[in-house]
Amino acid sequence: MRRTLVSMLFVYAATAMIFGSNANSATAGFGNSFEEVVSLAKKEGKVRVGFTLNEANFNAIIDGFKKRYPMIRVDFTANVTSNASERISLEALAGRVEYDLINVDDDKFAHFSKMGVIVGPLEWQKIFGRELPKEHVSPDNRYIVFSFNSRVIAYNQALVSRERIPKKWEDCLDPYWKGNFAVHIRAHPFVNMWSAWGEARTMDYITRLKNNQPVWSRGMEEALTQVSSGEVRMVCGINYHFVHALRKQDPRTNVVAAFPDAVPVALGDTTGIVKGAENPNAAFLLAGWLASLEGQVGFDEIGKSSPFLEGSEIGKAMKQAGAKPIFGGWDESNFTAERRNKILSVLGFRPAKK
């Protein structure tokens, strides 16, 4: 086992030097226009995908691609974790390329790029058109995002009058909610709002939020259950897709999402094309399609579509509410742990391990 690991690391180092010295080799074999990419993808005939998505969600998402490109078979492996992606990347450096397209977590971008295992830079917007939002593509043009986590407020409409519906984050500080609203202890929305608010305003907000005596929840699903059951009236900060899933499962639920004036948005599923992929153009085509408005129809079904596309479900909802997305950028994960631990310190909780 030790000898195998040493051998793999040796191959990794040698391969990284080769890839790092020849940037032009990264895009060899790819079409130079959308039409050429499609033509080459059809000749390849399939694409092998390893994502963290489960089978049901992927089937809902990929249906449109299969209808548009029936000649391209999609071989999908579900629940490919970050640890598995690490193994896949090492095997790719050793010459065994299991997938053409894999999920790469945002905190692993620099590591994977340094390893030289992800293709790039690629001209995503040139190939897929200017309607592809710049937020969908990493600054180094190696990765593309096709789902987002939009943080909103949710309330029980049977317990909250119309004039009390939250319209901004400051509404969570109203004494009206004191002791009768939930907050997830990891405070995701406020970690994401840091980029817009800055440290001083964020810390002041968190202090005042704590003083309003929220009911702390250990998870977003737990908080949603608290709101649904009437244990609390509102949850201040929850991923929109949890509310979407509940309403889809139970259309009669009293839980409703409220979009505050500023909606913090975090990267969801991000992907890159593996160097040495057998079907690079099919992978390029699928990744670009997933990030396009046409591909986002599938993500509407699971409540994780892009707020940067006005034609998406969440884009329309935010426009109607007069809300604007707050996006900390592709490098936000570099600061997440430090910011979260400062917030947890104010709240009186132990620092998070990750």
pLDDT in tens, 169-216: 999 999 999 999 999 988 899 999 999 999 999 999 999 999 999 999
What integer pLDDT is reported at residue 83 of this predicted model? 66
Separation CA 277–CA 339 (nearest Å): 37
* Of the candidates 86, 66, 89, the residue with the CA atom closest to the CA atom of residue 76: 66
CATH code linked to domain 2-147+268-291? 3.40.190.10
pLDDT at position 26 over 70: no
Whole-number pLDDT of residue 79? 80
Backbone CA torsion sign across 304, 120, 43, 52: negative
CB-based burial, 8-25: b 16+ in 10 Å, e otherwise: eeeebeebeeebeeeeee
Amino acid occupying residue 141: N
Q: What is the pLDDT of residue 25?
A: 35
pLDDT at 354: 52
Query: Which phi and psi (to 5°) does residue 197 adopt?
Result: -85, -30
Q: What is the pLDDT of residue 28?
A: 67
Name the strand (E) or helix (H) holding 194.
Answer: helix 188-211
pLDDT of 10 over the 50 cut: no
Q: Where are the domains of the chain?
A: 2-147+268-291, 149-267+313-347
Residue 183: name the closest of 215, 156, 151 by CA: 215
Q: Tokens at residue 275, please?
A: 């160097």
Above 90 in pLDDT, residue 289?
yes
Q: Residue 280: is the preceding peptide bond cis (ω within 30°)? A: no
Same-fold call for 2-147+268-291 versus 149-267+313-347: yes
Residue 222 CB-half CA count within 13 A: 10
Length of the chain: 354
* pLDDT for the residue numbered 91: 79
pLDDT at 31: 94
Compute the C-alpha angle 11/15/21, nearest 5°.
Answer: 155
pLDDT digits (tens, 9 = 90+) for 214-243: 999 988 999 999 999 999 999 999 999 999
pLDDT band at 12 (very low <50, low <70, confident <90, very high): very low
- Give the per-residue pLDDT at 15: 41
The residue assigned the tokens 């002041």 is: 204
Instruction: Give the tokens for residue 347.
Output: 């709240």
- Which residues share a beta bridge with 76? 49
- Higher-confidence position of 352 and 254: 254
pLDDT at 13 > cutoff 60? no
Q: Which pLDDT score, from 0 to 100, does residue 72 have?
A: 97
* pLDDT of residue 252 exceeding 70: yes
Average predicted confidence (pLDDT) for the chain: 88
Look at 9 and 148; give whichever has higher pLDDT. Answer: 148
Tell me the pLDDT tens digit for each residue of 307-343: 999 899 999 999 999 999 999 999 999 999 999 999 9
CATH of 149-267+313-347, one of 3.90.1300.10, 3.30.460.80, 3.40.190.10, 3.30.300.170: 3.40.190.10
Indicate if the pLDDT at residue 3 is higher than 90: no
Element (H, E) at 145: strand 143-145
Query: DSSP string spanning 16-30?
Result: HHHHHT-GGGGGTT-
Residue 18 confidence (pLDDT)? 38
